[in-house]
Structure 1
Amino acid sequence: MGVEGAGADKVLHGMLKTPSGFTLMASDTPEQMEHTPGGSITISPSGDDADDLRGWFAALSEGADVTLPLAVQRWGDEFGMLTDSFGTNWMVNIATSQARPQA
C-alpha cells in the first residue's frame, strides 16, 4: 500500500485485464477496516460490454445479498454491488459513453 509498518505487505490495488476486455480489481483489507473471513475480498469487473456485465450481475445476484442494485449512478456508469452466496463481495461497473473521455 506504499506505507511503512503494519500495511506495508498489503496490496492497495491489484488489477488484471481479461482477454474479453474486462478489468478485475482487488485489494487487501486495510488495518483500519474490519476483516471478515470469506468477505474480505471484493472482485470488481468493469468494462463497456454492458450485456456481458449485466449477465454476470444477474447470475451473481441469485441467492446473493444485493447491497446496491445495478443502475446508472451519479458519475454516469451503471454500477451495482452484492455479496454472493459464498460471501464474496462484488462491485460491477459498466462504463457508458457519457462517462468515458471523448477522443
Structure 2
Amino acid sequence: MSSRLNPYISFAGEAKPAMEFYKEVFGGDLAVHTYGEFGSEAPPGYSDKIMHGMLETTSGFTLMGADNPPGTEHKPGNNIAVSLSGDDMDELRGYWNKLSDGGTVSVPLEKQMWGDVFGMCTDKFGITWMVNVSEQQG
C-alpha cells in the first residue's frame, strides 16, 4: 500500500451517524470500531462511541472520523486533523520526525493497542497530524 493523505474529522458523540451519512453521500465501504471493542480498555461512558471510522469509496476517496477521546474538548475549528497512513515505516517516520520538530507531541509514535504504530502531534503552525503505520502482512 502506498502512503495516503486524507481528512480525519472529530465529533462530539455523533461520529457513527455522521460516518453513516457520508457513506450514503459517497457510497463505498465503511468500517467503524468502538472504544468498547477493546474491552476493559474502554473509558467509562465510551464503550459505544467510535474510536475509529474509515470510509473508502470506489472513487478513491478516504474519509476518517471518530468521537473525541475523553478529556479532549470538541469545538468547531479544531475538529479536523490530517492523517497519514500506510505500511512504509521509514517513509512515515520521516514525515513524523519533520512534522513534530518544533511542535507538540500529544501521542508518541509507538505501537498501539490495535497493533499499528501511531502518533499524533501538532506542528509548529498549529495543524494536528496523525501518523499510522500498519503492520506489514507477510
Asked if TM exceeds 0.5, the reply is yes
Displacement after TM superposition at 1:66 (Å): 0.3
2:124 aligns to what? 85
**1:43 has 2:82 as partner:** yes
Using the aligned pairs only, state the percent identity: 41
C-alpha change, 1:31 and 1:95, in structure 2 (3 Å) is: closer
TM (norm. structure 1) is 0.65
The count of aligned residue pairs is 78
Counterpart Cα distance in 2 of 1:87 and 1:95: 26
**1:67 has 2:109 as partner:** no
Compute the RMSD of aligned alpha carbons. Answer: 2.2
Deviations 1:54-95 (A, max 9, x none): 010011111111000100001110000001001100000000
The secondary structure found in structure 2 opposite 1:63 is coil
Could you list the runs of 4 or more consecutive aligned residues of structure 1 that deviate by over 6 angstroms after TM superposition? none
Structure 2 unmatched ranges of 5 or more: 14-73
C-alpha change, 1:86 and 1:95, in structure 2 (3 Å) is: same
Q: Could you say which structure has the higher strand fraction? A: 2
Structure 1 unmatched ranges of 5 or more: 1-19
Q: Could you say which structure has the higher helix fraction? A: 2
Displacement after TM superposition at 1:40 (Å): 4.4
C-alpha change, 1:70 and 1:27, in structure 2 (3 Å) is: closer
1:34 aligns to what? 75
Q: What amino acid is the match of 1:26? A: P
Displacement after TM superposition at 1:46 (Å): 0.2
Q: Which of 1 and 2 has higher RCO (CA within 8 Å, sep 6+)?
A: 2
